[in-house]
Amino acid sequence: MPQTSDEDLFEAVETERTCLRCVRRDDAGTVARLMTPAISRWLASWPTTVTEQWVEAKILEAREEIAAGRALHFLVERKTEREVMGWIRVSRVHPNSQQGDLSYWIGEAYQGQGYTTEAAFKSVAVAFELLRLDSIEAGAQPENVASFKVMRRLGMEPSGERVVWASARNRHELCIFYSVTRDKFAIKSRVRESDIIDGCVDEFG
């Protein structure tokens, strides 16, 4: 797919309070400033501290995945100010797989306000359609209780546990996984988006 460094590779979508758009090369500085140890401790591939150059390379890799149809990488903005809050990715677990993997993070200043659930719900809906997935899973360390709350609000159910490689910490870590099928998510989607986030405020959000 022909592209330039600033070209959006898919159409942006909105929720009540957020805008989800394609990651761009010039987002690197903003994203680097958002990443903190309190966030990266839960992420397998994001180091404790990141440079603008490291994030720029991450963005270029993400855009290659989008162009190849292997993933969608959403930058999460607060709709009123177009202020960058975080990053959501839905990728195929294997290049031609119909199963997707969801990951997400949001800056500390925006946690506890329901943004993660609101944005992740829309991201999953878009990924089911654009990537034509049959199911989507997400995983987290057993201590990451807030993330499991988000997964359940997306209609996900426990699907098992396994050890994953956390390159950011150069070690294997046990993670518990949740998943949802396209059909079950469609049922969940009938609930109004405002109802999904109602009462869903927690420390991760």
Instruction: Tell me the mean pLDDT in the region 159-183.
Output: 97
Question: Do the Cβ atoms of 93 and 77 come closer than 8 Å?
Answer: no
Instruction: Give the C-alpha separation, 86 to 116, whole Å.
Output: 9
Hey, how many other C-beta atoms are within 10 angstroms of the C-beta on 41? 14
Instruction: Tell me the mean pLDDT in the region 167-196.
Output: 86
Instruction: Tell me the mean pLDDT in the region 13-29.
Output: 96
The residue that leads in pLDDT, 189 or 159, is: 159
The residue that leads in pLDDT, 48 or 42, is: 42
Q: Report the mean per-residue pLDDT for the chain.
A: 91
Q: Is 53 helix (H, G, I), strand (E, B) or coil?
A: helix
Question: Do the Cβ atoms of 164 and 177 come closer than 8 Å?
Answer: no
Q: Could you tell me the end-to-end alpha-carbon distance of the chain, in angstroms, rounded to an integer?
A: 35
Q: Comparing C-alpha atoms, which of 44, 177, 167, 175 is closest to residue 101?
A: 177
Domains of the chain: 13-134 (3.40.630.30)
Instruction: Give the C-alpha separation, 183 to 165, whole Å.
Output: 30
Instruction: Tell me the mean pLDDT in the region 165-194.
Output: 89
Residue-wise pLDDT for 55-104, tens only, equals 999 999 999 999 999 999 999 999 999 999 999 999 999 988 999 999 99
Residue-wise pLDDT for 106-137, tens only, equals 999 999 999 999 999 999 999 999 999 999 99
Whole-number pLDDT of residue 173 = 97
Beta bridge partners of 83: 78
